[in-house]
Amino acid sequence: MKLAVVGPGAIGGTVAAHLIRSGHDPILCARTAFQRLVVETPQGVIEARPKVTTDPHAARPVDWVLVATKTYEVEAAALWLDRLVGPSTWVAVLQNGVEHVGRFAGQVPAGRLVPVVVEIPAERSGPGVMVQRRDGWMKVPDGQGGRAFCALFDSVGVDVSVDPDWCSVAWRKLAVNCAGAVNALTGKPARISARDDVADLMRALVAECVAVGRAEGAALSDDLPDQVVAQYRASPPDSINSLLADRLASRPMEWDARNGIIARLGERHGIATPLNRMAATLLSAME
């Protein structure tokens, strides 16, 4: 089984480390070269000297490509896919948002793409150096690709499962992520959600997401806005979501995959989404 991980950052590096520990030998397709992969996981530290390449032109087709770049790095990932994808390659997209398939549909046949909702809290402190904060999970749609992805992770030590209603899983995650715009906009960690006026704004962002998600076919409960606020309020007050972390580090932010998408799809369905539109506009203006 030949594997490649495109974008071995917090998620790609962590998943690659688990694969390596269970005996796989993935090629890590990186932008920044590194020699050692060191990942602190809840089960202990995984250290490896994986194959790392930074040259897309030297890549050859593999059985599985796991794409774990940020959502806005589609063109960069596409350069790798040009070389890594052959007629029988599966491409799993480990990213946030709800557009996993759409992002690469022009390049990889939709039937060979496996969208993955990732709930693995991981941070990167440097090239090849990551911390996985807690055990997490990945969910894929039912179907040939989803089942093949589960089989790939059989005995790897990461909870990977099929969900027949994957669309709803992805939108529920988007509901949490869209509310996180308040942290990046205020520059404040999770504790800002303790303010009732901010919590009301978060609920309103999520309510727009619920309306658009339902129009897209997701089953989302009426109390999802309250659930999301409760989740933020229960998290450590100093915790920083990736949108805020990216803003603080002056990196590009995933505002389009987290808020812009709700505005874009809302427009298609005739649903007003002024708050998500404003969040996307302001975050993009900050970059």
Among all residues, which ones are annotated catalytic?
A: 173
Question: How many residues belong to the site for ligand NAP (CB under 6 A)?
Answer: 28
* Joined tokens for residue 200: 């009301």
- If phi > 0 it is left, if psi is from -120 to 50 it is alpha, else beta; for residue 46 that is beta
C-alpha–C-alpha distance, residues 45 and 279, integer Å? 38
For residue 161, the 8-state DSSP code is: E
3-state secondary structure of 284: helix
Judged by CB under 6 A, the stretch of 70-78, 187-195, 229-237, 277-285 that binds ligand NAP is: 70-78
Of 26, 50, 115, 127, which lies in the binding site for ligand NAP, with binding defined by CB under 6 A?
127
For 108, how many CA atoms within 13 A lie in the half-sphere containing its CB?
A: 33
User: Hey, which residues does 41 pair with through a beta bridge?
Assistant: 44
Of 15, 118, 160, 206, which lies in the binding site for ligand NAP, with binding defined by CB under 6 A?
118
Of 89, 168, 193, 242, which lies in the binding site for ligand NAP, with binding defined by CB under 6 A?
242
If binding is defined by CB under 6 A, does position 40 make contact with ligand NAP? no
C-alpha–C-alpha distance, residues 284 and 6, integer Å? 25
Of 46, 120, 210, 220, which lies in the binding site for ligand NAP, with binding defined by CB under 6 A?
120
H helices present in 180-260, as ranges: 181-186, 196-215, 224-234, 242-248, 255
If binding is defined by CB under 6 A, does position 245 make contact with ligand NAP? no
User: Hey, which residues does 161 pair with through a beta bridge?
Assistant: 139
Judged by CB under 6 A, the stretch of 35-43, 89-97, 146-154, 228-236 that binds ligand NAP is: 89-97
Closest contact distance (angstroms) between CB of 196 and ligand NAP is: 28
| Residue ranges binding ligand NAP (CB under 6 A) | 6-12, 29-32, 68-71, 73, 76, 94-96, 118, 120-122, 124, 127, 242, 254
